[in-house]
Structure 1
Amino acid sequence: MKKLAALVALTSFALTACVTTESTGTAASNTTQQLGMVAIKVAINAKCTTELNSLPAWKTATRVMTDEQKTNVQGQICGCVSEKAPQSVTAVDLATAAIDPQARATIVSNVVTKTINQCVAEAIK
Protein backbone atom coordinates (compact mmCIF):
# COMPACT_ATOMS: atom_id res chain seq x y z
CA MET A 1 0.00 0.00 0.00
CA LYS A 2 2.84 2.38 0.85
CA LYS A 3 4.49 1.61 -2.48
CA LEU A 4 1.27 2.45 -4.32
CA ALA A 5 0.91 5.77 -2.45
CA ALA A 6 4.54 6.62 -3.20
CA LEU A 7 4.05 5.74 -6.87
CA VAL A 8 0.92 7.93 -7.11
CA ALA A 9 2.69 10.83 -5.38
CA LEU A 10 5.72 10.52 -7.64
CA THR A 11 3.55 10.36 -10.77
CA SER A 12 1.54 13.40 -9.65
CA PHE A 13 4.73 15.34 -9.01
CA ALA A 14 6.12 14.42 -12.43
CA LEU A 15 2.93 15.47 -14.22
CA THR A 16 2.83 18.76 -12.31
CA ALA A 17 6.41 19.47 -13.36
CA CYS A 18 5.48 18.92 -17.01
CA VAL A 19 2.55 21.32 -16.80
CA THR A 20 4.64 23.96 -15.05
CA THR A 21 7.40 23.74 -17.65
CA GLU A 22 4.99 24.12 -20.54
CA SER A 23 3.20 27.12 -19.06
CA THR A 24 6.50 28.80 -18.22
CA GLY A 25 7.68 28.34 -21.79
CA THR A 26 4.49 29.90 -23.10
CA ALA A 27 4.76 32.79 -20.65
CA ALA A 28 8.33 33.45 -21.72
CA SER A 29 7.28 33.39 -25.36
CA ASN A 30 4.42 35.83 -24.71
CA THR A 31 6.71 38.15 -22.76
CA THR A 32 9.24 38.14 -25.59
CA GLN A 33 6.49 38.97 -28.09
CA GLN A 34 5.18 41.79 -25.88
CA LEU A 35 8.67 43.26 -25.51
CA GLY A 36 9.13 42.96 -29.25
CA MET A 37 5.86 44.82 -29.89
CA VAL A 38 6.83 47.63 -27.51
CA ALA A 39 10.24 47.93 -29.15
CA ILE A 40 8.67 47.95 -32.60
CA LYS A 41 5.99 50.54 -31.71
CA VAL A 42 8.58 52.95 -30.32
CA ALA A 43 10.78 52.48 -33.37
CA ILE A 44 7.78 52.77 -35.72
CA ASN A 45 6.81 56.13 -34.26
CA ALA A 46 10.33 57.49 -34.73
CA LYS A 47 10.65 56.05 -38.25
CA CYS A 48 7.20 57.33 -39.20
CA THR A 49 8.08 60.87 -38.19
CA THR A 50 11.29 60.73 -40.21
CA GLU A 51 9.59 59.21 -43.27
CA LEU A 52 6.69 61.63 -43.10
CA ASN A 53 8.95 64.68 -42.92
CA SER A 54 10.83 63.48 -46.02
CA LEU A 55 7.72 63.04 -48.18
CA PRO A 56 7.37 65.88 -50.74
CA ALA A 57 3.57 65.78 -50.44
CA TRP A 58 3.84 66.20 -46.66
CA LYS A 59 6.18 69.17 -47.05
CA THR A 60 3.74 70.80 -49.47
CA ALA A 61 0.67 70.11 -47.34
CA THR A 62 2.22 71.39 -44.13
CA ARG A 63 3.31 74.74 -45.55
CA VAL A 64 -0.14 76.17 -44.84
CA MET A 65 -0.49 74.49 -41.42
CA THR A 66 0.38 75.93 -38.05
CA ASP A 67 2.91 74.02 -35.95
CA GLU A 68 0.08 72.76 -33.75
CA GLN A 69 -1.93 71.50 -36.73
CA LYS A 70 1.15 69.85 -38.19
CA THR A 71 1.90 68.11 -34.89
CA ASN A 72 -1.70 66.92 -34.52
CA VAL A 73 -1.90 65.48 -38.04
CA GLN A 74 1.54 63.92 -37.71
CA GLY A 75 0.47 62.29 -34.44
CA GLN A 76 -2.70 61.01 -36.08
CA ILE A 77 -0.80 59.52 -39.03
CA CYS A 78 1.97 57.94 -36.96
CA GLY A 79 -0.59 56.66 -34.45
CA CYS A 80 -2.39 54.99 -37.35
CA VAL A 81 0.86 53.41 -38.52
CA SER A 82 1.56 52.12 -34.99
CA GLU A 83 -1.96 50.68 -34.73
CA LYS A 84 -1.63 48.85 -38.04
CA ALA A 85 1.78 47.39 -37.12
CA PRO A 86 0.43 44.25 -35.41
CA GLN A 87 -1.36 43.33 -38.64
CA SER A 88 1.91 43.43 -40.59
CA VAL A 89 4.24 41.74 -38.11
CA THR A 90 4.50 38.03 -37.31
CA ALA A 91 5.21 36.53 -33.89
CA VAL A 92 8.66 35.51 -35.12
CA ASP A 93 9.33 39.11 -36.17
CA LEU A 94 8.30 40.32 -32.70
CA ALA A 95 10.60 37.88 -30.94
CA THR A 96 13.45 38.81 -33.26
CA ALA A 97 12.80 42.54 -32.76
CA ALA A 98 13.05 42.14 -28.99
CA ILE A 99 16.53 40.69 -29.33
CA ASP A 100 18.17 42.05 -32.49
CA PRO A 101 18.28 45.84 -33.10
CA GLN A 102 19.29 45.42 -36.76
CA ALA A 103 16.36 43.10 -37.45
CA ARG A 104 14.08 45.53 -35.58
CA ALA A 105 15.19 48.37 -37.89
CA THR A 106 14.45 46.28 -40.98
CA ILE A 107 11.06 45.16 -39.67
CA VAL A 108 10.14 48.72 -38.72
CA SER A 109 11.17 50.08 -42.10
CA ASN A 110 9.03 47.49 -43.87
CA VAL A 111 5.98 48.15 -41.67
CA VAL A 112 6.20 51.93 -42.05
CA THR A 113 6.64 51.67 -45.80
CA LYS A 114 3.59 49.39 -46.09
CA THR A 115 1.27 51.56 -44.01
CA ILE A 116 2.29 55.22 -44.12
CA ASN A 117 0.59 56.07 -47.44
CA GLN A 118 -2.61 54.39 -46.31
CA CYS A 119 -2.57 56.33 -43.04
CA VAL A 120 -1.86 59.64 -44.79
CA ALA A 121 -4.87 59.03 -47.03
CA GLU A 122 -7.04 58.27 -43.97
CA ALA A 123 -5.86 61.40 -42.16
CA ILE A 124 -6.60 63.64 -45.13
CA LYS A 125 -10.21 62.43 -45.39
Structure 2
Amino acid sequence: MKKLLAVLAPIALVLSACTTTTGTTTGTTTAPTATQQLGMAAIKIAINAKCVTELNNIPAWHTATRVMTPTQKQNVQAEICGCVSEKAPQNVTAVDLATAAIDPAARATIVSNAVSRTINACVAEAVR
Protein backbone atom coordinates (compact mmCIF):
# COMPACT_ATOMS: atom_id res chain seq x y z
CA MET A 1 0.00 0.00 0.00
CA LYS A 2 2.83 2.40 0.84
CA LYS A 3 4.46 1.68 -2.55
CA LEU A 4 1.22 2.52 -4.34
CA LEU A 5 0.92 5.76 -2.40
CA ALA A 6 4.56 6.60 -3.14
CA VAL A 7 3.87 6.19 -6.87
CA LEU A 8 0.49 7.94 -6.99
CA ALA A 9 1.40 10.97 -4.86
CA PRO A 10 3.98 12.42 -7.31
CA ILE A 11 1.67 11.73 -10.25
CA ALA A 12 -1.19 13.52 -8.52
CA LEU A 13 1.10 16.43 -7.71
CA VAL A 14 2.27 16.74 -11.31
CA LEU A 15 -1.27 16.52 -12.67
CA SER A 16 -2.58 19.09 -10.21
CA ALA A 17 0.05 21.53 -11.48
CA CYS A 18 -1.65 21.41 -14.90
CA THR A 19 -5.01 22.61 -13.63
CA THR A 20 -6.10 26.20 -13.76
CA THR A 21 -8.69 28.06 -11.80
CA THR A 22 -10.97 30.43 -13.63
CA GLY A 23 -11.76 33.65 -11.86
CA THR A 24 -8.82 33.62 -9.47
CA THR A 25 -8.22 37.20 -8.53
CA THR A 26 -4.99 38.95 -7.74
CA GLY A 27 -5.71 42.33 -6.23
CA THR A 28 -8.35 43.89 -8.44
CA THR A 29 -7.60 42.03 -11.68
CA THR A 30 -8.57 38.57 -12.78
CA ALA A 31 -5.64 36.25 -13.49
CA PRO A 32 -5.67 35.00 -17.10
CA THR A 33 -6.12 31.30 -17.67
CA ALA A 34 -3.64 29.26 -19.66
CA THR A 35 -6.09 29.22 -22.57
CA GLN A 36 -6.36 33.00 -22.53
CA GLN A 37 -2.58 33.31 -22.44
CA LEU A 38 -2.20 30.96 -25.41
CA GLY A 39 -4.94 32.82 -27.26
CA MET A 40 -3.22 36.13 -26.61
CA ALA A 41 0.12 34.73 -27.79
CA ALA A 42 -1.51 33.51 -31.02
CA ILE A 43 -3.18 36.89 -31.50
CA LYS A 44 0.15 38.70 -30.98
CA ILE A 45 1.82 36.52 -33.63
CA ALA A 46 -1.02 37.18 -36.08
CA ILE A 47 -0.93 40.89 -35.26
CA ASN A 48 2.81 41.06 -35.93
CA ALA A 49 2.41 39.34 -39.31
CA LYS A 50 -0.50 41.63 -40.25
CA CYS A 51 1.53 44.66 -39.15
CA VAL A 52 4.38 43.79 -41.51
CA THR A 53 1.90 43.41 -44.38
CA GLU A 54 0.09 46.66 -43.55
CA LEU A 55 3.34 48.56 -43.11
CA ASN A 56 4.58 47.42 -46.51
CA ASN A 57 1.29 48.61 -48.07
CA ILE A 58 1.67 52.18 -46.78
CA PRO A 59 3.06 54.44 -49.55
CA ALA A 60 4.72 56.73 -46.99
CA TRP A 61 6.62 53.72 -45.63
CA HIS A 62 8.09 53.04 -49.08
CA THR A 63 9.11 56.68 -49.42
CA ALA A 64 10.64 56.86 -45.95
CA THR A 65 12.60 53.63 -46.31
CA ARG A 66 14.18 54.44 -49.68
CA VAL A 67 17.07 56.18 -47.94
CA MET A 68 17.50 53.44 -45.31
CA THR A 69 19.80 50.48 -45.49
CA PRO A 70 18.07 47.09 -45.36
CA THR A 71 19.25 46.69 -41.76
CA GLN A 72 17.88 50.09 -40.74
CA LYS A 73 14.58 49.33 -42.47
CA GLN A 74 14.32 45.98 -40.70
CA ASN A 75 15.14 47.55 -37.31
CA VAL A 76 12.51 50.28 -37.68
CA GLN A 77 9.95 47.74 -38.93
CA ALA A 78 10.69 45.49 -35.94
CA GLU A 79 10.31 48.46 -33.59
CA ILE A 80 6.98 49.51 -35.11
CA CYS A 81 5.51 46.02 -35.31
CA GLY A 82 6.80 45.20 -31.82
CA CYS A 83 4.91 48.23 -30.57
CA VAL A 84 1.79 47.15 -32.46
CA SER A 85 2.09 43.59 -31.12
CA GLU A 86 2.22 44.93 -27.57
CA LYS A 87 -0.49 47.60 -27.84
CA ALA A 88 -3.02 46.07 -30.25
CA PRO A 89 -4.08 43.23 -27.92
CA GLN A 90 -5.35 45.91 -25.52
CA ASN A 91 -8.05 46.50 -28.16
CA VAL A 92 -9.07 42.83 -28.11
CA THR A 93 -11.73 41.70 -25.64
CA ALA A 94 -12.11 38.28 -24.04
CA VAL A 95 -15.15 37.71 -26.26
CA ASP A 96 -13.02 38.52 -29.32
CA LEU A 97 -10.39 36.02 -28.14
CA ALA A 98 -13.00 33.31 -27.72
CA THR A 99 -14.47 34.06 -31.15
CA ALA A 100 -11.01 34.12 -32.73
CA ALA A 101 -10.25 30.69 -31.28
CA ILE A 102 -13.30 29.22 -32.99
CA ASP A 103 -13.68 31.16 -36.24
CA PRO A 104 -10.66 31.83 -38.51
CA ALA A 105 -12.55 34.49 -40.48
CA ALA A 106 -13.40 36.34 -37.28
CA ARG A 107 -9.76 36.02 -36.17
CA ALA A 108 -8.60 37.74 -39.37
CA THR A 109 -11.11 40.55 -38.87
CA ILE A 110 -10.22 41.00 -35.20
CA VAL A 111 -6.48 41.09 -35.98
CA SER A 112 -6.99 43.50 -38.87
CA ASN A 113 -9.07 45.88 -36.74
CA ALA A 114 -6.58 45.76 -33.86
CA VAL A 115 -3.65 46.52 -36.17
CA SER A 116 -5.39 49.35 -37.99
CA ARG A 117 -6.32 51.01 -34.67
CA THR A 118 -2.72 50.82 -33.44
CA ILE A 119 -0.26 51.07 -36.33
CA ASN A 120 -0.42 54.86 -36.85
CA ALA A 121 0.34 55.57 -33.20
CA CYS A 122 3.30 53.19 -33.28
CA VAL A 123 4.66 54.70 -36.50
CA ALA A 124 4.46 58.16 -34.94
CA GLU A 125 6.17 56.83 -31.80
CA ALA A 126 8.99 55.24 -33.83
CA VAL A 127 9.58 58.39 -35.86
CA ARG A 128 10.17 60.51 -32.74
TM range (shorter): 0.7 to 0.9
- Would the aligned equivalents of 1:39 and 1:97 in 2 still touch at CA under 8 Å? no
* 1:67 has 2:70 as partner: yes
Q: Which amino acid aligns with 2:75?
A: N
Please name the residue that 2:79 is paired with: 76
Q: Which of residues 48, 57, 60 in structure 1 aligns to 2:60?
A: 57
Structure 2 CA distance for partners of 1:81 and 1:116, relative to 1, 3 Å:
same
Provide the aligned length of Structure 1 versus Structure 2: 102
In structure 1, runs of 5+ residues without a counterpart are: 1-22
Structure 1 match to 2:96: 93
Moved over 3 A (4+): none
Quote the Cα distance in structure 2 between the aligned partners of 1:38 and 1:116. 18
Match of 1:111 in 2: 114
Deviation at 1:24, TM superposition (A): 5.3
**Is 1:33 paired with 2:36?**
yes
Q: CA RMSD in A?
A: 1.8
CA distance in 1, matches of 2:21, 2:95: 15
Higher RCO (C-alpha 8 Å, min separation 6): 1
1:26 match: secondary structure: coil
More helix by share: 1
| Cα distance between partner residues in 1 of 2:20 and 2:79 | 38
Task: Give the alignment's TM-score, normalised by structure 1.
Answer: 0.75
Q: CA deviation at 1:95?
A: 1.9
Rg comparison, structure with higher value = 1
Task: Give unmatched runs, 5+ long, in structure 2.
Answer: 1-18, 24-31
Give the match's secondary structure for 2:98.
Answer: helix
Aligned to 1:13: none
The whole-number CA distance in structure 1 between the counterparts of 2:123 and 2:96 is: 25
CA distances 1:46-73 after superposition (whole Å, capped 9, x unpaired): 1000000010110000000000000000
Q: TM-score, normalised by structure 2?
A: 0.73
Counterpart residue type for residue 50 of structure 2 = K
